[in-house]
């Protein structure tokens, strides 16, 4: 239901020895927090604007499906070395209903 280029893809989950393992799309650039620290907290404005745009496109799709992330932070934004930006970690997300 949430397939979108700005949302990390979920593959599968397994329960093994009282632990839940979730397998999601691999993002080879790590989280946005790591990228910010690599650039010494000085990301050029045009790149920051691109990152924000991609995050907002992901959130727009979620909101169109009446879903709320509720834990948006740089640790939950994943970056690909190809420049892709994806929202991840839906542990606190909720589905709004009537």
**Counts for the chain of helices (H) and strands (E), in that order:** 2, 6
Which residues share a beta bridge with 78? 31, 86
Classify residue 30 as left (phi > 0), alpha (psi -120 to 50) or beta.
Answer: left
Residues annotated as catalytic are 71
* Within a domain: 5: no
* Within a domain: 74: yes
* Within a domain: 1: no
Domain total in the chain: 1
Task: Give me the pLDDT at residue 1, please.
Answer: 54
Angle at 50 between CA 78 and CA 36, to 5 degrees: 50
* Within a domain: 65: yes
Structure confidence by residue, pLDDT tens digits, 45-66? 899 899 999 999 988 888 887 7
> Which run of H or E residues covers position 35?
helix 32-38
CATH number where 30 lies: 1.10.510.10
Q: The pTM is what?
A: 0.78
The residue range of the domain holding 31 is 10-95
Task: Give me the pLDDT at residue 98, please.
Answer: 61
């Amino acid at each position: 239901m949430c397939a979108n280029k700005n949302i990390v893809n979920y593959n599968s989950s397994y329960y093994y020895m009282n632990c839940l393992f979730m397998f999601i799309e691999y993002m080879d650039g790590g989280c946005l927090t790591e990228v910010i620290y690599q650039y010494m907290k000085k990301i050029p404005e045009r790149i920051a604007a691109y990152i924000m745009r991609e995050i907002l496109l992901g959130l727009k799709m979620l909101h169109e499906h009446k879903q709320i992330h509720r834990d948006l932070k740089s640790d939950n934004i994943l970056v690909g070395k190809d420049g892709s930006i994806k929202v991840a970690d839906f542990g606190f997300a909720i589905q709004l209903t009537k």
